[in-house]
Amino acid sequence: MRKLLLEELPWLVTLVLLTAFCIGWLCFMIVDPDKWSDFVDKEYTFWVRRGICTPSFAEKFKRFEKGLGMKILIGSGASLGFVGLLYIGVLLVRLALSAHR
């Protein structure tokens, strides 16, 4: 069991970090929408100034990132990560119980 856990540890750590990042990002978007809006505005101003995207393209994506769509996208990522962690936890408990039999 220990060998299996050590082999899968990088994936588990990655899943934990990505889930925590998504939850933190979602909390930032919900708790402080003004700072989030300022961050999005600065980001797209930078891309337009660099000539990477057009102003009309930037406005469309600003609306998406400031709206419900981005919150749903980030919330879905956090939910999938959380479900994945629960699933891995159940598998590890079952593996540990079967090793003691």
* Residue-wise burial string across 63-96, b where 16 or more C-beta atoms lie within 10 A, e elsewhere: eebbeeebbeebbebbeebeebeeeeeeeeeeee
pLDDT 10s digits, 10-41: 888 888 999 999 999 999 999 999 999 999 99
Q: What is the mean pLDDT of the chain?
A: 89
What's 54's DSSP letter?
-
Higher pLDDT, 99 or 76: 76
> Domain coordinates of the chain in residue numbers?
10-99
pTM over the 0.85 mark:
no
pLDDT 10s digits, 48-92: 999 999 999 999 999 999 999 999 999 999 999 999 889 888 888
